[in-house]
């Protein structure tokens, strides 16, 4: 549900623009307000989850997400929709930060690998099925129901969470780092704003140059704060752990390359090929079916082979899929030219999603699972936001001068370069053992009520 709200709006943007009279910039923020709010608050949500209870934060996030979904459905302007999407992203952050930690607390060994496989299949499928769901809803009921459908489902999930999920927390959790959260959020917003407005205002204009400079200063302030504060929300020492750095790099790179691609493919299918929103979603369905078949199998293998194999292989396959799509593009041609790339892309997502989920909770002890999944999901959502803004700037500039197909060619080429460079950098960093077989790297913990083994420490 949460990831659908990242991708499902792509095919609905023309209908939103027509109904609300929204500008192009306001439409971009419909996507990035959600992704940026998610990225900026995930770390704080992870700390809150470890400190006050993962079930409690998970349920609270569901309630906030559900209420803001209702506000999105009732929005009467582009600005109101963007603001509601930001609140929706904050609620989603609380859920994301807890999801993997809750699974890691309940499952061990091969069962954990299977649980991560299911998690990976669902989250991966949400990326590809989003346009189809969005197209069906927009064509059948209107764009507002993209958000209103979350309301009954969210209420039911919040009720089930309170009834069914056990509570877990970290007895040694850190306090909130409000200064770090504020400086990190400011840096993310300013850089994204500059990337979105650069083509419109001019890259050398005072507003864009000022936003980039202020973003750099905010990032420098964030680093300084994290080095000096007693309990940083992002302990920079974690980047001394190669596996942690490698996992964050994979999460960021695959999000930059994949999630923004759906927006550009939706434009290609609808504007260049003349397809409807539902027709657009149907053309992406083969990728969904392949990843749903591959992800559970990859989840089982995640407990038996070194995680750097599927993680880097997934990135390589993503790059191959993007180049295959380039070969299949043509102005007014058959959409089937994209089919080989979509199929390889489905395999890539199916391979990488469960392994990334396993790696996220393998780099830190299970008691700090909220922090671990929060940090890595931050890089995932930050990748989406930066990808939408940065690749969007490339696409918009190229589309103005050469057309949609050359613009999409440029985006696919840049995205392939990003994931292949990330694969080269991540391979030597990712020296994680299979989660089911790895031995603890630290002395055994004192006896606890739950006798199951802890996840390996870095």
In a domain, 223, yes or no: no
CA distance 80 to 75: 6
Residue written as token pair 């999105």? 72
CA distance 283 to 417: 25
In a domain, 122, yes or no: yes
Q: Which domain holds residue 368?
A: 4-162+233-426
In a domain, 173, yes or no: no
CA distance 49 to 98: 7
CA distance 436 to 252: 25
Question: Taking the complete model, does pTM exceed 0.75, yes or no?
Answer: yes
In a domain, 84, yes or no: yes
In DSSP notation, 328-355 reads: H--TT--GGGGHHHHHHHHHHHHHHHHH
For each of the chain's 458 residues, which pLDDT tens digit applies? Answer: 887 787 788 788 878 878 888 776 777 788 889 988 988 888 788 778 878 888 899 999 999 999 999 999 999 988 899 999 999 999 998 888 788 778 877 888 778 878 877 877 777 667 667 778 888 888 888 889 999 999 999 999 999 998 888 887 776 667 778 898 899 989 989 998 898 888 888 888 899 999 999 999 999 999 999 998 888 878 888 888 888 888 889 989 998 998 788 888 888 888 888 888 888 888 888 888 888 888 888 877 766 778 888 899 999 999 999 999 998 887 767 788 899 999 999 899 888 887 887 777 676 665 555 566 667 778 888 888 888 888 988 988 888 888 888 999 999 999 999 999 999 999 988 875 554 433 333 333 333 344 343 333 33
Q: Which residues, at least 6 apart from 48, have a Cβ–Cβ distance to it below 8 Å?
A: 57, 94, 97, 176, 370
In a domain, 154, yes or no: yes
Q: Where are the alpha helices (DSSP H) in 141-241?
A: 145-148, 150-164, 178-201, 206-228
Task: Specify the number of domains making up the chain.
Answer: 1
Q: What CATH code is carried by the domain that includes residue 41?
A: 1.20.1250.20
CA distance 370 to 100: 8
What sign does the dihedral 173-179-181-183 (CA atoms) show?
Answer: negative
In a domain, 169, yes or no: no
In a domain, 12, yes or no: yes
In a domain, 185, yes or no: no
CA-atom Rg of the chain in angstroms? 21
What's the residue count for the chain? 458
């Amino acid at each position: 549900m949460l990831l659908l709200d990242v991708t499902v709006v792509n095919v609905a943007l023309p209908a939103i623009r027509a109904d609300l009279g929204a500008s192009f910039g306001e439409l971009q923020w419909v996507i990035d307000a959600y992704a940026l709010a998610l990225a900026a608050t995930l770390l704080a949500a992870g700390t809150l989850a470890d400190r006050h209870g993962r079930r409690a934060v998970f349920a609270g996030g569901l309630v906030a997400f559900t209420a803001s979904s209702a506000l999105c459905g009732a929005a009467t302007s582009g600005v109101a929709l963007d603001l509601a999407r930001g609140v929706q992203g904050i609620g989603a952050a609380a859920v994301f930060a807890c999801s993997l930690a809750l699974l890691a607390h309940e499952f061990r060994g091969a069962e954990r690998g299977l649980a991560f496989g299911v998690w990976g299949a669902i989250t991966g499928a949400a990326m590809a099925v989003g346009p189809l769901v969005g197209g069906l809803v927009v064509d059948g009921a209107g764009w507002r129901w993209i958000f209103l459908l979350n309301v009954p489902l969210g209420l039911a999930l919040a009720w089930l969470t309170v009834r069914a999920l056990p509570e877990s927390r970290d007895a040694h959790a850190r306090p909130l780092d409000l200064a770090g959260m504020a400086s990190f959020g400011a840096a993310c917003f300013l850089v994204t704003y500059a990337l979105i407005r650069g083509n419109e205002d001019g890259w050398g204009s005072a507003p864009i140059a000022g936003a980039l400079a202020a973003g750099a200063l905010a990032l420098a302030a964030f680093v300084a704060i994290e080095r000096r504060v007693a309990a940083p929300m992002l302990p920079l020492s974690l980047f001394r752990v190669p596996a942690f750095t490698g996992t964050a790099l994979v999460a960021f790179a695959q999000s930059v390359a994949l999630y923004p691609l759906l927006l550009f493919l939706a434009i290609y299918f609808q504007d260049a090929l003349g397809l409807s929103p539902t027709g657009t979603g149907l053309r992406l369905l083969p990728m969904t079916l392949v990843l749903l078949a591959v992800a559970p199998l990859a989840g089982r293998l995640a407990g038996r082979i070194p995680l750097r194999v599927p993680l880097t292989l997934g990135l390589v396959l993503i790059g191959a899929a993007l180049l295959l799509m380039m070969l299949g593009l043509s102005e007014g041609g058959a959409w089937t030219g994209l089919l080989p790339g979509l199929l390889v892309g489905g395999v890539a997502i199916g391979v990488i999603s469960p392994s990334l989920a396993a790696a996220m909770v393998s780099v830190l002890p299970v008691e700090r699972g909220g922090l671990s999944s929060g940090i890595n999901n931050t890089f995932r959502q930050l990748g989406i936001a930066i990808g939408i803004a940065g690749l969007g700037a490339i696409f918009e500039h190229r589309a103005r001068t050469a057309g949609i197909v050359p613009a999409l060619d440029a985006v696919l080429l840049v995205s392939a370069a990003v994931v292949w460079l990330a694969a080269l950098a991540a391979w030597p960093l990712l020296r994680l053992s299979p989660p089911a077989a790895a031995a603890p790297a630290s002395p055994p913990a004192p006896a606890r009520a739950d006798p199951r083994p802890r996840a390996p420490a870095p």
